[in-house]
Amino acid sequence: MLASIEVAFKGLLSCLQSLKMYGAAHPMFQKSLDKAFEAFADVLASRQEMTIGIVGEELAFEKEILFDLAKFLRPAILYLKERNIERIAFYSGLSKEELAKFVSFIAKPKEDFKGDLQASLSLTGIEHISIGKLKVDMQQNRNVFALAQSELYDSSADMVGRALSGVLNSEKIDHLGLKFSLSNIMENLSSQRQEMLKLATVKRYDVETYTHMLNVSIFSMYFSSRLGFDKTDILNIGVAAMYHDIGKLSISRRILHKPGQLTDQEFGRVKSHTLLGAQIMLKYVNTLGILPVVICFEHHLKYDSSGYPRLPFLRKQHIASLIVAICDVYDALSQRRGYKQDYSPDVVYNIMNRDKGSAFNPVLLDKFFRIMGLWPVGAVVALNDGSIALVRGQNESDIRRPKIEIVSPQDKKRLVDLTQDATLSIERYLNPWKEGKEYLRLV
């Protein structure tokens, strides 16, 4: 029975993902709806009710905790908790039309999930599904069910780690959980972009490779969205960006983290990660499409094709590869690793602009920094009057003068738009590993 419950719940989430990616009229959604309804009909043929609850970060059915299911569907659990849904009950008599309406109901923005959720659900004409919160005291509810953006980032990092390990071990990818996780991030980028970009700025100091891959995915999705790509293309770019460096995980860590200069043989091994990655991702074309293969192969070619792998002819690169190449270098330069120090944002800007037109598409690079700003959201900076501030937002008209919040000294605390105050300017960046560490908790 538990296996059937898991199949039905996975089918529900597959429907949700298909709806968000393709829309209700698309054949892919109808196909996933048919499959999910068949699974629910199978369960409800032998029982009057099927109730799934979210306890902490685990899924539960009656007295059983579905540990294996929760492990792979954690992003979906967080998605439901964001919408105050902790219990879903399906009853005998459920129709396919009701299931379709329910999927559309839970696909709505999280801001719509207020008040009496069951009353709102009933207004849609759904009679054989009920939703609500588990009965817990208010303090427990706050402690157990509160969801921060940080939790979403961390859960996505966990999913990325599992997805990368699975590919390296030639295992089947849980593409539903992966796409659901990145889809959640994509939604948060549109509604709370400052919070998600802030996390990528702060948490990139984690040295794990998969964190770099997640950051590149986040930056690539955000950049693509600001360039006007549609949601399906943004998600596909996010998935492909996440695997851009998968080939490096097959290379010795001794070489990757060598503090001194690499030998020609060692550097050749590092450069081979583009071909290794493309070969690895060819095995997953049926699941993830061809774009991960393309980006693995192209992200170090450089805009003028002077990079690697060396080609016998000029090749027009996919725009997704050009986007990922910018986001990859931006995060790599900003990230502290065992074999190098991180660079301050102004140094990153200067380094990348030296390669404008050679390594990077000049139009895309200009747009990237107009969107991201010279000083990223969450950066700790010192001002010309001696005060300390946090960057809170960007001004595309002048990337050197963002919106800031002065946090020290106490008597100067306030929000300031530097384009509106000519007396203040950013003098220098405070490294969060050193002099900026005490202010990091305020980010």
CB 235 within 8 A of CB 183: yes
Query: What H or E segment, with its residue span, contains residue 55?
Result: strand 49-55
d(CA 108, CA 124): 13
Question: So what's the pLDDT on residue 207?
Answer: 43
Question: So what's the pLDDT on residue 336?
Answer: 61
Query: What H or E segment, with its residue span, contains residue 9?
Result: helix 2-22
User: Pick from 257, 217, 253: which is nearest to 237 by CA?
Assistant: 217
Question: So what's the pLDDT on residue 163?
Answer: 65
CB 15 within 8 A of CB 33: yes
**Alpha helices, H only, 127-260:** 138-145, 149-168, 175-191, 193-203, 209-226, 231-242, 253-256
Q: Please provide the DSSP assignment of 222-290 as one string.
A: HHHHHTT--HHHHHHHHHHHHTTTGGGGGS-HHHHT-SSPPPHHHHHHHHTHHHHHHHHHHTTHHHH-S
427 phi/psi in degrees, rounded to 5: -95, -40
d(CA 178, CA 157): 10
Q: Dump pLDDT digits (tens) for 201-225.
A: 544 443 456 678 888 998 999 999 9
Token pair of 41, please?
């009909």
Question: So what's the pLDDT on residue 115?
Answer: 82
Question: So what's the pLDDT on residue 146?
Answer: 31
Q: What is the pTM of this model?
A: 0.67
Average pLDDT, the chain: 81
Is the four-CA dihedral 278, 234, 332, 438 of positive or negative sign?
negative
Question: So what's the pLDDT on residue 103?
Answer: 93
Residue partners of 57: CB distance under 8 A and separation at least 6: 70, 74, 77, 78
Question: So what's the pLDDT on residue 204?
Answer: 43
Q: Are strands 380-383 and 426-429 parallel, antiparallel or unpaired?
A: antiparallel
User: Pick from 115, 107, 114, 92: which is nearest to 46 by CA?
Assistant: 92
Question: So what's the pLDDT on residue 403?
Answer: 94
Question: So what's the pLDDT on residue 162?
Answer: 64
d(CA 250, CA 304): 28
Q: Dump pLDDT digits (tens) for 306-347.
A: 999 988 877 789 999 999 999 999 988 887 654 456 689 999
Domain edges within the chain = 2-146, 150-370, 380-442
Give the CATH architecture of domain 150-370: Orthogonal Bundle (1.10)
Residue with tokens 């219990």: 87
Q: SS3 of 306, please?
A: coil
Report DSSP state, residue 361: -
Give me the residues of the chain with pLDDT under 50, please: 136-148, 193, 195-196, 199, 202-207, 338-339
